[in-house]
Chain A
Amino acid sequence: MALPQAKQDVLAARIAGLSLPQGGWAGAARADALARLSAMGLPVKRDEYWRYTDPTSLTTPDTPHAAVFDARDEPPAFDGIDRVRLVFVDGVFDPAQSDDPAAAGVEIDRLAAVADRDIHWAQSLYGVLEARGQNPVQRPLAALNTAFATDGVLIRATGKAAKPVALVYIHRDEGSDAILHHCIKLEAGAEVTILENGPAAARFTKVMEVEVADGARFHHIRTQGRDHERRAATHIFARLGAGALFKSFTLTANGVLTRNDAVIELLGDDAVAHVAGAAVGDGNFHHDDTVFITHAGLRCESRQVFKKVLKNGAVGVFQGKILVKPGAQKTDGYQISQSLLLDEDSQFLAKPELEIYADDVKCSHGSTSGAIDETALFYLRSRGVPERMAQSLMVLAFLAESIAEIEDEAIAEDIRSRLEGWLARHER
């Protein structure tokens, strides 16, 4: 079928001003990605997976401006966590603000710096998982990212990392358009924690490809938000070997548009993948979690836990799929997406999907939208808890199941206090 003209036009306009970074081992992968992208075109609102989220502002040639939020009232995320910081300002690596990568105890390189070096492992990962993740659902923004990413980190771990690696994204330029691509490879038995925080740019397009080999453990905790007007389209593509663990949690607060795609393949037996998110939005906020988990191995477990608190017209979207391939027996798949609507103007749109080709599996999904429980609110108030505090307690309680997916208690506490701060600032 010929590509609709509209999609071609959007693509032509978007890439007219971009240039394909030249040279090195990534060149071929970039060219392949551009070919994929040309065949797909860029998303338009009529596409099945963009029905609830208008992609226009993610695909326009010009970046919609985003004011830089004065964050003096809020300390940056993970400040109290001992970590190795790698700082990107509007998508450009800033060595002056960054820590020595060697302290993390894993191999860390920058995509932009190593084009001329033969990094074998990265060659077999860059664009590879993204390409696998284009089927059966197309993700053109990810292909665009592989083709045009200006930088990113390449991390390889062979053992347990000494410290979490923190990618800190600072937004300074009101018109910045950042495209970053990270590749993370955990060799058998390795363990790495990746932290991400910050608004990154006025518009941020990101891909993270994660290979988790047999028995390796990957933890990912990110906070995205802060700047109200920023837009982001992020993708995580992960592939898990036997007995591997993948855990990803995202806190999203603010942002006129956020689309987070997670595409995870459980290839080996006994692998475990948990993807969770807590999103809080007030007013002009649109947040979309689109998750696709493929079970191919035996006895694998997957959990999707997404909670959104919405007020003053904020919109939440969840599109989550569990695909159980033939032979993936004893699969345990769980999916829950819930929204707490603090008023009648807000909206939650959910599309849970299960597609199962094995007969001995356990899969459950649930999706709910509800208001705050007035009886519980009164109960708390009758004990002397002021109304706003009682509401915050209940909101945090609602989000608790997703935050519980964070294994590190100090990091979970950081997330909780961040939410408390947000709730206090958005009481009305």
Chain B
Amino acid sequence: MLEIKNLHVKLEEEDKVILKGVDLTVKAGEVHAIMGPNGSGKSTLSYVLSGRDGYEVTDGSATLDGEELLEMEPEARAAAGLFLAFQYPVEIPGVGNMTFLRTAVNAQRKARGEEEMSAGDFLKVVRAKAKTLKIDADMLKRPVNVGFSGGEKKRNEILQMAMLEPKMCILDETDSGLDVDAMKLVSDGVNALRDAGRAFLVITHYQRLLDHIKPDVVHIMAAGRIIKTGGPELALEVEKNGYADILAEVN
């Protein structure tokens, strides 16, 4: 599904190289986790894949089902099935959450040549999905993320994911700022979307999220590279001993 090869990325404005040859293959139906110390390039990887400005790809490629992502506009990547759940979901004053969701769903459908969803159908679907994430009618009406608590913002990300039904979901530190109950709610939302045709890349600092969203593969990222790949036990090792051992072992 997602295939990243030898990805090198620097900041556009400075000569700072962040990713120094990332190789990663995620197959349909799999959940991969990326862990790593601060500044290792995890969030940069998610931004580069989703098409945020400010980064320059100096080498390598990233394809989604064979399509080169890095040459596409962010909206085209989304329509192709890529979704990034933001670490810091953005507040958009004046744009109603419902309007935002419906605009996004229909823009993607239009881009894929599918029929747009009617207002009635959309309302039915969004209400049902919001309910399982404990998102009430008021949150759907309010402007996007404005005045939302940290937990509400993350639940809203998952609601967007559920509505957009992407193929490849990247979760960037979705657990940050969540209490235990909210983490369970968000994880349940993610697990409900697990499917043979869908893959997840879960970026996290902590093993505890992976107790809820069980990964098939765990990668450790450091200094712009994936330095170790293993099974779920790798996350437990990090939780127990920190990154020092792994870093030392690789160096």
Chain A residues packing against B (C-beta within 8 Å): 373-376, 378-387, 389-390, 393-394, 396-401
Contact = CB atoms under 8 A, between A and B. Distances in A.
Interface in B78-130: 78-79, 83-84, 86, 89-95, 99-100, 103-105, 107-108, 111
Contact of A383 (B78, B93, B99, B143): B78
A381 B94 contact: no
A389 B111 CA distance: 13
Given A389-B103, A389-B107, A393-B103, A382 B92 contact: no
B94 A379 contact: no
Contacts of A379: 86, 89-90, 92
A397 B95 CA distance: 5
B108 A397 contact: no
Interface string B51-75: 1110000000000000000000111
B94 A397 contact: yes
Interface of B: 50-53, 73-75, 77-79, 83-84, 86, 89-95, 99-100, 103-105, 107-108, 111, 143, 160, 164
Nearest to A404: B94
Contacts of B100: 380, 383, 393
Residue with the greatest number of chain A CB neighbours at <10 A, chosen from B84, B91, B94, B104? B94
A394 B50 CA distance: 20
Given A389-B103, A389-B107, A397-B95, A384 B78 contact: yes
B103 A376 contact: no
Given A389-B103, A389-B107, A381 B90 contact: no
B75 A386 contact: yes
Contact of B104 (A373, A378, A383): A383
Residue with the greatest number of chain B CB neighbours at <10 A, chosen from A380, A400, A401? A380
Contact of A381 (B51, B93, B99): B51
A382 B164 CA distance: 11
A380 B84 CA distance: 11
Contact of B95 (A381, A387, A393): A393
Contacts of A381: 51, 73-75, 78
A380 to B, nearest CB: 7
B92 A384 contact: no
A13 to B, nearest CB: 47
Contacts of B164: 383-384
A389 to B, nearest CB: 6
Contacts of A387: 73, 75
B45 to A, nearest CB: 15
Contacts of B92: 373, 376, 379-380, 394, 397
Contacts of B93: 397
B236 to A, nearest CB: 32
Contacts of B105: 384
A396 B103 CA distance: 14
A180 to B, nearest CB: 35
A382 B50 contact: yes
10 contacts: A376-B92, A378-B53, A381-B51, A382-B86, A383-B104, A383-B108, A384-B105, A390-B75, A396-B95, A401-B94
B161 to A, nearest CB: 10
Contacts of B94: 394, 396-401
Nearest to B105: A384
B74 A378 contact: yes
Contacts of A373: 92
B95 A394 contact: yes
A383 B51 contact: no
Given A382-B52, A387-B75, A397-B93, 17 more contacts: A378-B51, A378-B74, A379-B90, A380-B104, A381-B75, A382-B74, A382-B83, A382-B84, A383-B78, A383-B104, A384-B107, A385-B103, A389-B107, A393-B99, A393-B103, A394-B95, A401-B94
A193 B78 CA distance: 45
Contacts of A396: 94-95
Given A384-B164, A394-B92, A378 B52 contact: yes
A400 B78 CA distance: 27
Nearest to A379: B90
A380 B51 CA distance: 12
A374 B90 CA distance: 11
Given A383-B160, A384-B75, A397 B143 contact: yes
Residue with the greatest number of chain B CB neighbours at <10 A, chosen from A374, A385, A400? A385
B95 A382 contact: no
Contacts of A398: 94
Contacts of B50: 382
A384 B160 CA distance: 11
B78 A382 contact: yes
Nearest to B95: A397
A374 B92 CA distance: 11
A393 B160 CA distance: 17
B104 A384 contact: yes
A205 B99 CA distance: 40
Contacts of B91: 376
Residue with the greatest number of chain A CB neighbours at <10 A, chosen from B53, B79, B91, B100? B100
A397 to B, nearest CB: 3
A70 B99 CA distance: 32
A159 B111 CA distance: 53
B75 A385 contact: yes
